[in-house]
Amino acid sequence: MSKLLIEGVSRTFAGVGGGQPVQALQPVDLAVAANDFITILGPSGCGKSTLLRIVAGLEAPSTGRVLLDGRAVTRPGPDRGMVFQSYTLFPWLTVAENIGFGLREQGRPERERNEIVASYIDLVGLRGFENHWPKQLSGGMQQRTAIARALANDPEILLLDEPFGALDNQTRGLMQELLLGIWERRKKTVLFVTHDIEEAIFMASRVIVMSARPGRIKSDVPVDLPHPRYYTLKTSPEFSALKAQLTEDIRIEAMRTAQTQSAQA
Amino acid sequence: MLRPLYPVQPGTRTVLGITFFVLFVAFWAWITLGGHVNRIFLADPLSMLKDGWRLLVEDRFWLDILITIWRVFGGFVLASIVAVPIGIAMGAWKPVEAFLEPFVSFARYLPASAFIPLLILWAGIGELEKLLVIFVGSVFQIILIVAVKVGATRRDLVEAAYTLGATDNGIVKRVIMPANAPEIAETLRLVLGWAWTYVIVAELIGSSSGIGYMIINSQSRLATGQIIFGIIVIGLIGLLSDFAFKALNRWLYPWSLA
């Protein structure tokens, strides 16, 4: 049985000021196996973030439903950990308190909490920064904390919405290896949204390519590159071949987006 | 050369700031001691200081100062205790806002000073009336500003908390309240400044003690030196309480500092 089932999920936004309703997402079907690392790749505005937010329960689908372990998703919950593109650490909590936030909300005893928090601080390499405020951290460290915070709940699935989108290129590469390393060791079902082709291939066991708005799944590309993966993989011929294929796919969609935008202008 | 938006050196900033005070007092001394205005209407700086010293030493003016401070803080604390929870509730729960916001918006334009005759009828001319003037003047302002700040809580933080398993109750207690605590404290600091103007008005009418009483009393005796001294004392206390409030906020909310 699939870990996550997305069945005919679509999303239509009401028109602004009595205008036409806008369909952000055409009905999408997707089955995700347990411990798969899925990246959702698409041009900006293709509804990939909307799809992820529906899985998280932060938005309701206009049609269709999302099943996690056979249970329908109706609202956000700790079984679906989420990492956002914007920095969403709680500024009034230290790094350790941020990571322990979900455990505390669920009323786990303090000693148990501290043990779990310490293990995740080690996992993302933030030893020595436990008592820092978020604003004292670099963007990469904030996102590492956010990943640890989402994982500390031991969610059934980890959802990431362009988590490294605001980071510089070098940091981004290191964060990709860090997250992939965690996944290789701990195994987790992951949905990772990105518009970066290289990132989509490097991270994934399966890339879902989405079309321009209104979004739908355009292609479903398995990535059979061996694990563990290092940055050197990005320059291998197999990687380049996949990249060339996906670049072509995405380019058509990006052009289509540009055309609809200029047609509307 | 003055270049737009170009920062000024800290030392130069201090010197410039003090220079204005010096010029101001010098101008005041020149028009009064130089005989350019009638002594009856404006005392010179030296007699102001002399009058002030006499007030403090002989007339026990420091008791008036203490009673005014007590009124300001008493009324202000009462208003805060009532207003902050209401403001948070309005910001967090939209039906509460829809219920109260129109009335509070209306009420905050009612001038506190216009309530004084009514409050005297209800509460007499004792301490309760003075506290109520400040309460009426502050409470609606605090409610509205707090409601707006709380309503503008970062949505992404709320969403992040939900995905971490927070309940609705947990969102209010452990996201909305701590996220807005520094801003609420800043609001209180601002409104405390306004409370100082209400207290003086309250003491000008039907009062027998306080800085405002001393001022209105001095007017009938044409003691302009005392009036000016009273005004300066109010300014200094306001400045001091503002500094203290700022320091307290910095100590309470170190995470919100840049």
Chain B's closest residue to A78, CA to CA, is B165
| Contact yes or no for B20/B27 (Cβ under 8 A) | no
Q: Answer yes or no: is A26 within a domain.
A: yes
Domain of A66? Answer: 4-79+155-264
Q: Answer yes or no: is B151 within a domain.
A: yes
Collapsing DSSP to helix, strand or coil, A72 comes out as strand
Dump the DSSP string for B25-59: HHHHHHHHHTTSS-TTT---HHHHHHHHHHHHHHS
Rounded mean pLDDT, A139-161: 94
As a whole number, the mean pLDDT across chain B is 92
Collapsing DSSP to helix, strand or coil, A10 comes out as strand
Collapsing DSSP to helix, strand or coil, A187 comes out as coil
Q: What are the pLDDT digits (tens) for B154-169?
A: 999 999 999 999 999 9
Give the contacts of A232 (CB within 8 A, at least 6 positions apart): none
Residue A207: enclosing H or E segment and its boundaries?
strand A206-210
CA–CA distance, B196 with A235 (Å, rounded to integer): 70
Query: Which of A49, A55, A92, A157 has the most B C-beta neighbours within 10 Å, making it the best mutation to test the interface with B?
Result: A92
CA–CA distance, B130 with B71 (Å, rounded to integer): 7
Spatial strand order in the sheet of A157-161 = A80-83, A157-161, A189-194, A37-41, A206-210, A217-222
Cis ω for the linkage preceding A134 (within 30 of 0): no
Question: Does pLDDT of B258 surpass 70?
Answer: no
pLDDT in the model for residue A212: 81
- pLDDT tier, B140 (very low <50, low <70, confident <90, very high otherwise): very high
Min distance B176 CA to chain A CA atoms (Å) = 11
Q: What are the pLDDT digits (tens) for B88-103?
A: 999 999 999 999 999 9
- Which value does ipTM take for this structure? 0.91
Rounded mean pLDDT, B57-86: 93
Q: CB of B10 within 8 Å of any CB in chain A?
A: no
Q: Is there a contact between B157 and A90 if contact means CB atoms under 8 Å apart?
A: yes
Q: Answer yes or no: is A180 within a domain.
A: yes
- pLDDT tier, A20 (very low <50, low <70, confident <90, very high otherwise): confident
Q: Which among A58, A75, A78 has the least Cβ separation from residue B164?
A: A78
The count of structural domains within chain B is 1
Cα dist from A107 to A56, A149, B68, whole Å: 22, 16, 48
Q: Answer yes or no: is A31 within a domain.
A: yes
- pLDDT tier, B232 (very low <50, low <70, confident <90, very high otherwise): very high
Q: Answer yes or no: is B188 within a domain.
A: yes
Measured between beta carbons, the chain A residues lying within 8 angstroms of B160 are 82, 84, 88, 90, 146
Q: CB of A150 within 8 Å of any CB in chain B?
A: yes
Q: Answer yes or no: is A106 within a domain.
A: no
Rounded mean pLDDT, B241-258: 87
Q: Is there a contact between B164 and A88 if contact means CB atoms under 8 Å apart?
A: no
Domain of B108? Answer: 39-256
Q: Answer yes or no: is A54 within a domain.
A: yes
Question: Does pLDDT of A263 surpass 70?
Answer: no
- pLDDT tier, A261 (very low <50, low <70, confident <90, very high otherwise): low
- pLDDT tier, B197 (very low <50, low <70, confident <90, very high otherwise): confident
Query: Could you tell me the CATH number of the domain that includes residue A221?
Result: 3.40.50.300
Burial class for B34, CB neighbours closer than 10 Å (0-12, 13-18, 19+): exposed
Angle between helices B61-92 and B177-204 (to 10 degrees): 140
Rounded mean pLDDT, B68-87: 95
Q: Answer yes or no: is B149 within a domain.
A: yes
Measured over the CA atoms of residue B40, residue B41, residue B47 and residue B48, the dihedral's sign is: positive
Collapsing DSSP to helix, strand or coil, A43 comes out as coil
| Contact yes or no for A163/A195 (Cβ under 8 A) | no
Rounded mean pLDDT, B180-203: 91
Position B152: which residue type?
Answer: A
- pLDDT tier, A265 (very low <50, low <70, confident <90, very high otherwise): low
Q: Answer yes or no: is A51 within a domain.
A: yes
pLDDT in the model for residue A249: 82
Query: Could you tell me the CATH number of the domain that includes residue B244?
Result: 1.10.3720.10
Residues 234-253 of B with CB under 8 A from A: 253
Q: Answer yes or no: is A36 within a domain.
A: yes
Q: Answer yes or no: is A260 within a domain.
A: yes
CA–CA distance, A152 with A102 (Å, rounded to integer): 7
Q: CB of A86 within 8 Å of any CB in chain B?
A: yes
